[in-house]
A = this chain, B = another copy of it.
Amino acid sequence: MRILVVNVNTTQSITDSIGEQAAGAASPGTEIVPLTPSFGAESVEGNYESYLAAVAVMEAVRAYTEPFDAVIQAGYGEHGREGLQELLDVPVVDITEAAASTAQFLGRSYSVVTSLDRTVPLIEERLHVAGLSARCASVRASGLAVLDLERDERVAVDAIVEQAARAVEDDRAEVICLGCGGMSGLTERVAERTGVPVVDGVSAAVTIAESLVRLGLSTSKVRTYAPPRPKRMVNWPPVGEGRP
């Protein structure tokens, strides 16, 4: 089974780290193919960048010419999953939803700890749209920009643990989701220091994608995610390798 794991940022090192995390969660026999969009922001931290990433991720998947069995959109709180579901016959799993859905099996409520304060509303809205907000205790910002996460892991873990602890104590969360693709590698250290289960969305998404494939299930095409109707597209898709 081959699963595409698509970064929403155009920074290759993040793609590498996400790919590594995904591979670590995959079953024997699953091939993880990490993809980087050919256009967009080096780090996605807001609506403009996220809408652009939505399109870039779709084009990256369309430009991939080998067969594959499932796609993971590896951005937390980002737009675009619904478009991928229209374009593809194979299952599409968003890491925001994968993490929340997994967390709900582990405790009565969960919180998300993400990067910057400005991304909190995006995550809240995506959970709302996905029908996964009823048991979300809070979405909290660590204050770290996406690219800062890579710079000093100790600082990153400290900032995340601080917010996770407040989520457990003040917001009554019982599980923590790491709300940024770039936090994937920090799961264990955060779990050790908070004493509650910590869910990494990338790993969770890999197991869910594998499960859907194994169960022979894929996106319903009956209404919302039916394939786009045939029509004239102006100046799109972009020419060559998914690049506009």
> Restricting to A193-213, which residues have a CB under 8 Å from any CB of B?
195-197, 199, 203-204, 207-208, 210-212
A151 at the interface (CB under 8 A from B): no
Which of A40-48, A152-160, A178-186 lines the interface with chain B?
Answer: A40-48
Q: Check if B47 sits within 8 Å of A82, measured CB to CB.
A: yes
CA distance A224 to B118 in the complex (A): 5
Q: Which residues of B contact A58 (CB under 8 A)?
A: 48, 51
Q: Give the number of residues in A that approach B within 8 Å (Cβ atoms).
A: 90
A31 at the interface (CB under 8 A from B): no
CA distance A39 to B237 in the complex (A): 9
Q: Check if B212 sits within 8 Å of A49, measured CB to CB.
A: no
CA distance A236 to B214 in the complex (A): 39
Q: Check if B48 sits within 8 Å of A51, measured CB to CB.
A: no
Q: Check if A80 sits within 8 Å of B105, measured CB to CB.
A: no
Q: How far is the CB of A105 from chain B (nearest CB, A)?
A: 6
A220 at the interface (CB under 8 A from B): yes
A244, closest chain B residue (CB) = B244
A204, closest chain B residue (CB) = B215
A17 at the interface (CB under 8 A from B): no
Q: Check if A46 sits within 8 Å of B86, measured CB to CB.
A: yes
Could you list 5 A-B pairs, sorted by A, with CB under 8 Å? A51-B51, A102-B211, A107-B224, A195-B222, A207-B210
Which residues on A are within 8 Å of B, measured CB to CB?
10, 25, 27, 37-43, 45-52, 54-55, 58, 79-80, 82-83, 85-87, 91, 93, 97, 101-102, 104-108, 117-118, 120-122, 125, 128-135, 145, 168, 172, 174-175, 195-197, 199, 203-204, 207-208, 210-212, 214-215, 217-220, 222-226, 228-229, 231-236, 238, 243-244
13 new A-B pairs (CB below 8 Å) besides A54-B79, A175-B220, A235-B243? A25-B215, A40-B236, A41-B231, A41-B233, A47-B225, A51-B54, A51-B55, A97-B104, A105-B208, A105-B212, A108-B223, A118-B224, A210-B211
